[in-house]
Amino acid sequence: ETGVTQTPRHLVMGMTNKKSLKCEQHLGHNAMYWYKQSAKKPLELMFVYSLEERVENNSVPSRFSPECPNSSHLFLHLHTLQPEDSALYLCASRPGQGTNEQFFGPGTRLTVL
Amino acid sequence: AQSVAQPEDQVNVAEGNPLTVKCTYSVSGNPYLFWYVQYPNRGLQFLLKYITGDNLVKGSYGFEAEFNKSQTSFHLKKPSALVSDSALYFCAVRPSGSARQLTFGSGTQLTVLP
């Protein structure tokens, strides 16, 4: 285990629902990431929160909304999703500037009906 | 813009045989290169990285990768495959000396047959 946890592990939601994904790390890392993983596609970076920068991928629809209340927690708020948003959503963290490896959580398998 | 290509969606190899998972990249300047592995129902797990120095990098579980600047490649290798190596492998790149984020390839499914 990497020390990065994600809840829930599985989520099924309708297009009108509102839900949130949670990511947590108590590793002292100061950068956290959301990725979308779809079958046979490259991992898509959605959002980054770190001491150095906050990055948003401009191609991510506004129905995805990140929140980072502190350096240990990261949320992804979901509303009015579409079936094509069904994917594995991965959270990752990185120790700090100059350190390159990212540590990934197990992911949340999201299905939008 | 930086990019990574993993030309094979699927690689099959017999247990005990050597394996190679291919990766080529495009980036401005010198690259930082990474390999990650994903087992079923798990997140990505770091295997190894090339930052600078020796072109042959050794990582976890007996894996190694060779950086070839002229061919812009960073192929993952293992001398003798195990059934337990069966997983999804991702190559990633970012420019050195930059705060830019990692760019991942689309992944290669490795199946080691007993």
d(CA B42, CA A92): 12
Chain B positions touching chain A (beta carbons under 8 Å): 4, 9, 32, 34, 36, 41-46, 49, 51, 90, 94, 99, 101-107
In chain B, the residue whose alpha carbon lies closest to the alpha carbon of A31 is B101
Does B45 contact A105 at a Cβ distance shorter than 8 Å?
Answer: no
Q: Which residues of A touch B97 (CB under 8 A)?
A: none
Report whether B29 contacts B90 (CB < 8 A).
no
Question: Above 70 in pLDDT, residue A63?
Answer: yes
Q: What confidence score (pLDDT) does residue A99 get?
A: 57
**Residues A82-86: contacts with CB within 8 Å, 24+ apart?**
A82/A15, A82/A112, A83/A15, A83/A112, A83/A113, A84/A112, A85/A110, A85/A112, A86/A110, A86/A111, A86/A112
C-beta separation of B73 from B23 below 8 A: yes
Instruction: Provide the pLDDT for residue A30.
Output: 85
Structure tokens at B53: 């120095």
From chain A, pick out residues whose CB is under 8 angstroms from the CB of B32: 100
Band (pLDDT 50/70/90 cuts) for residue A37 is very high
Whole-number mean pLDDT of chain B? Answer: 92
Nearest residue on chain A to B40, judged by CA atoms?
A: A106
Beta carbons within 10 angstroms of residue A22's beta carbon: 16
Cβ pair B106:A41 closer than 8 A:
yes
Its sign, for the CA torsion B94, B49, A23, A14, is: positive
Q: Looking at residue B114, what DSSP letter applies?
A: -
Q: What's the confidence (pLDDT) of residue B100?
A: 64
Q: Under an 8 A CB cutoff, do B99 and A43 touch?
A: no
Position A40 scores a pLDDT of: 79
- SS3 breakdown of chain A: % helix, strand, coil, rounded to 5? 5, 55, 40
pLDDT at site A53: 66
- Determine the pLDDT at residue B109: 96
8 A C-beta contact, residue B29 and residue B50 = no
Give the distance from residue A92's alpha carbon to the nearest chain B alpha carbon, in angstroms.
9
State the pLDDT confidence band at B97, using cuts at 50, 70 and 90: low
Is the pLDDT reported for residue A1 higher than 80? no
User: What is the percent of chain A where pLDDT is above 70?
Assistant: 95
CA distance A81 to chain B (A): 23
What pLDDT sits at residue B68?
Answer: 96
Contacts of B51 in chain A (CB under 8 A): 100
pLDDT one-digit tens code per residue, B16-52: 999 999 999 998 888 899 999 999 888 899 999 998 8
pLDDT of B12 above 80: yes
Handedness of CA A20, B45, B108, A50 (dihedral sign): positive
Paired residues of A24 in beta bridges: A5, A73
Please state which of the ranges A53-67, A68-82, B39-53 shows the lowest mean pLDDT. Answer: A53-67
